[in-house]
Amino acid sequence: MSDDSATPQWQDTTRDESAPEPGTASRIVAALDDDTRRLVRLSAVICTADEPELRTELLSATRVSDPETVEELILQSYLFAGLPRALNAMREWRRASGRKAPPRDEDAARDDTAAWRARGEVTCATVYGRFYERLRHNIAELHPALDEWMIVEGYGKVLARSALDLKRRELCIVAACAALRQERQLHSHLHGALNAGATRGELDATLAALRDVLPGRDVERAERLWRRVGGHLSARAQETD
């Protein structure tokens, strides 16, 4: 959910000499707890994988300590993967977990656009930090309806729900953007995850956890972008010392 004007670099297939050596991914992944690792992998798989691979990750997700977090991840996936994939994922989750849908979702049933807008503005401002006002301007320039839907529907109705904390939501969004090769949004949500409380180690681990569920080149490109973002942040920090 961004309008970064940087040119996407997904077409760059040159080898990155600073890429991690074989065997380092498993050590990096240890920075994530098992539940979060399963969630970020599932987030990527919902976006791009076929049903057999989706079922495999959903079976793994049945071991997540709080199944509500899995359902929240699947609900938020419609913002990034689209409604058909979200519906398929929830259908397969019901089969894998044996959990029935709740009879009612009080949060979704509310008819209070003003409240959704207010909490959407707070959540979006947390994710985008000092770039929040520029984001709102840029999206409104594309179309005011997109700005309204982004805040009310995306950040208010979905990403501000309490059953999954914002930090893990953002790590899952990073995984989704990497899977979908959406470099502009990936750039924004790498920053967003940090703004929501993730550590650099957790972002390293999120991307490393995707190495056997996404094509290698896609993971390497995402990691390359993350190294650029991290380098810029380190340079800024040194300038302010």
How many structural domains are present in the chain?
Answer: 1
Domain assignment present for residue 106? The answer is no
Domain assignment present for residue 15? The answer is no
Domain assignment present for residue 85? The answer is yes
Domain assignment present for residue 188? The answer is yes
Domain assignment present for residue 185? The answer is yes
Q: List the CATH number of the domain containing 96.
A: 1.20.1290.10
Consecutive 10-residue averages of pLDDT for the chain (241 residues): 44 39 56 96 97 96 98 98 98 98 92 95 98 98 98 98 97 99 97 97 97 96 96 77 61
State the pLDDT at residue 2. Answer: 55
* Cα-to-chain-centroid distance, residue 203: 11
Domain assignment present for residue 129? The answer is no
With 0-12 / 13-18 / 19 or more C-beta atoms within 10 angstroms meaning exposed / middle / buried, residue 192 is buried
State the pLDDT at residue 21. Answer: 46
Q: What does the block give as tokens for 152?
A: 């009310």
State the pLDDT at residue 232. Answer: 83
Domain assignment present for residue 227? The answer is yes
State the pLDDT at residue 222. Answer: 98
pLDDT per residue as tens digits for the range 211-233: 999 999 999 999 999 999 988 88
Domain assignment present for residue 147? The answer is no
Domain holding 45, by residue range, is 24-100+162-240
